[in-house]
Structure 1
Amino acid sequence: NGQTCLVLCVQTQLPPPAPSDDLSSLSELTEAGLLYEVQKRFGNDQIYTYVGDILLAVNPFKELQIYSAQVSRLYAEGEGRRSHPSLPPHVFACAERAIQAAHHDQSPLTFILSGESGSGKTTACRHILQHLLTRAEGSSATHLESTFKHVNCILKVFGEVPNSTNSTSSCFSAFLELLLRRSDSKVIGGRLTTYLLERSRVLASEGQPTFPIFSLLSATEGLEKLDMRNQGNSENCWSSQASHAGLADVVISLRALGLSAEDESSLLSLLRGIWLLTKIRFQNVEPPETSRVSSPQLLEQAALLVPSAHLESALTTDVTCSTGDKAYRRVQAQTATTWRDQLACSLYARTFGLLIQLANLALRSLSSPDSYTIIGVLDVPGLSEVQDNGYEQLCTRLLTERLGEFGLRQLFHGTDKDVEARDGVGLTMATLPGDSSVPNAILQVI
């Protein structure tokens, strides 16, 4: 068209292999020595290190030019071998080894990603997915790659929040399954299961931001009539210009996953209603132990298709049923506030679940289950400091403890069983480090 286009090519430079690529091969295995090697590698932008069959990843907190399609092809050609003479440790190598093992053994495999909040688990999950999708073919590859991008967009705005160490910290556990055709290990579909959504994040508070979708809605121009602009923490709201672009991307992704224009409008209205519901305030009135809504305008806007009087009654009245009779009792403002929060969080959790169902419909494969094997990726939120620990944090910590115990069992006892099967030698099982008595006791109670 007569215009000049300047193209900048960034050369991918992988670090050369080094003796410290696998820490288990070091002559001296001490805590100080291991930390020294990891720190030295981190200073050289070598963020990946093997520890036997485990890949240790350190978040560089910057962009590294080591995730291009060219790098992915290099590890695919090397078949993920750790002993490849010219390729250093990489998440692509682990993904490629999983592909080779799944094709050879014809049995499911799972990646378990664990670490503190902000350590890069979700990013590692996306890099694994990136490499696995190179094994899709033709139009199917383009469709799957596009669909997963739209799913990631939805998960980011509906299930992640920023914190002090991470701009996108997951607030739910996710198990992603990639379906690989048995005959040639080509990816033909996917399936996503989510657990333990931190629904309390709906309630924005000082030091705890809410989900980005609410920030997008609250800062978008034209929503002042819903009184959303000044109802939340302004520091959590994006700029109006960024919100327009971000909300447009969300709508595009929703449409790509199969949501109709009418359903998309209903979804956004529901989200606005949930957000406004969290802003309704109550005040105690006479007689004692009763309350009423002190912000009737917000109540009217949040009610949507429900009569506002019915919503107020549901939030301020306790109903007890006994032998066919109903007893009504008005509650105080503190109880009404708790019920308001529970309703908002429950509505959001159900909405999130519907979006996951929508994603699975877009990712589904029509092939018979006998025709494919599975590579799974389990991504669990890392431990982070919060002002108030609640039931959600307890469940996340218990899950982290159990996964850690499972990893140790596979690392030690799994190896022992392999030796017994190969050499026919009976071995005494090693005692696993750590104490699982406390998590086990809590699990028996709950």
Structure 2
Amino acid sequence: VVGIILVAMNPYKQLPIYGDAIIHAYSGQNMGDMDPHIFAVAEEAYKQMARNNKNQSIIVSGESGAGKTVSARYTMRYFATVSKSSSNAHVEDKVLASNPITEAVGNAKTTRNDNSSRFGKYTEISFDQSYQIIGANMRTYLLEKSRVVFQSENERNYHIFYQLCASAVQPEFKHLKLGRSQGSNLLFI
């Protein structure tokens, strides 16, 4: 069964449409009474979970740079706020705290994006009987295992390989066929 479909675009800047006042405006509202918004989708899933006592899924999909991680973060913040989970008010921060490590291992330079995620994420948020958040679990799935041994022209291997070799001497780079990235702004962990 297909539920609600929302098409969102990444504005590549902070907008005032994701603050707490907007969260409270969407909380408890019916889907058709409000403008299309990621908070409307989150509210509908939250309401269905509470009303039917059934698990809900929200799929966030899109091309590289489309804003999937940000949309997921807004959804988690919405759940944390409307569920009034005081101890878990920053659940999105806790769940996404592993992002720098995950991105170092699972991101690579592509022709379209210098820091493109080459992995999928599955985030499960757990609620108690009062529908307050009690925990979350994030699993990652590497999508491009072939990138380890082959990269298309003007693309690079996973960032982690370059980070591991960052302290290597130049002859080892040549032997491994890893050149230093020109003008790289990547930070090493």
TM-score, normalised to structure 2's length?
0.75
Q: State the 1:227 CA deviation.
A: 5.4
Render the CA deviation track for 1:148-171: whole Å, top value 9, x for unaligned: 231222222222234344454332
The residue aligned with 1:111 is 58
CA gap of 1:129–1:159, structure 2 versus 1, over 3 A, is farther
Q: Is residue 2:2 matched to residue 1:55? A: no
1:14-413 alignment runs, 5 A limit:
53-76=4-27, 79-84=28-33, 87-134=34-81, 135=83, 137-142=85-90, 144-182=91-129, 184-203=130-149, 205=151, 206-219=153-166, 223-225=167-169, 232-235=178-181, 238-239=184-185, 243=187, 246-247=188-189
CA gap of 1:187–1:195, structure 2 versus 1, over 3 A, is same
Given residue 98 of structure 1, which amino acid in structure 2 is its aligned partner?
A: A
Given that 1:158 and 1:212 are in contact with CA atoms closer than 8 Å, whether structure 2 keeps it comes out as: yes
Structure 2 CA distance for aligned equivalents of residues 88 and 126 of structure 1 = 20
Structure 2 CA distance for aligned equivalents of residues 100 and 236 of structure 1 = 50
Q: State the 1:56 CA deviation.
A: 1.4
Provide the aligned C-alpha RMSD in A: 3.1
Q: State the 1:123 CA deviation.
A: 3.2
CA gap of 1:67–1:210, structure 2 versus 1, over 3 A, is farther
Instruction: Specify every segment of 5 or more residues in structure 2 that has no aligned partner in the other structure, as ranges.
Output: none
Given residue 91 of structure 1, which amino acid in structure 2 is its aligned partner?
A: I
List structure 1 segments (4+ residues) > 6 angstroms apart after TM superposition: none
More helix by share: 1
The residue aligned with 1:390 is none
CA gap of 1:236–1:175, structure 2 versus 1, over 3 A, is farther
Given that 2:9 and 2:67 are in contact with CA atoms closer than 8 Å, whether structure 1 keeps it comes out as: yes
Q: Per chain length, whose mean CA-contact separation is higher, i.e. which structure has more relative contact order (CA < 8 Å, sep 6+)?
A: 1
Given that 2:4 and 2:41 are in contact with CA atoms closer than 8 Å, whether structure 1 keeps it comes out as: no
Structure 1 CA distance for aligned equivalents of residues 170 and 181 of structure 2 = 19
CA gap of 1:180–1:167, structure 2 versus 1, over 3 A, is farther
Q: State the 1:208 CA deviation.
A: 2.1
Structure 2 CA distance for aligned equivalents of residues 141 and 234 of structure 1 = 42
CA gap of 1:58–1:195, structure 2 versus 1, over 3 A, is same
Q: State the 1:199 CA deviation.
A: 2.0
Render the CA deviation track for 1:291-322: whole Å, top value 9, x for unaligned: xxxxxxxxxxxxxxxxxxxxxxxxxxxxxxxx
Q: State the 1:209 CA deviation.
A: 1.8
Given residue 107 of structure 1, which amino acid in structure 2 is its aligned partner?
A: K
Bigger Rg, structure 1 or 2: 1
Structure 2 CA distance for aligned equivalents of residues 179 and 213 of structure 1 = 31
Given residue 18 of structure 2, which amino acid in structure 1 is its aligned partner?
A: Y
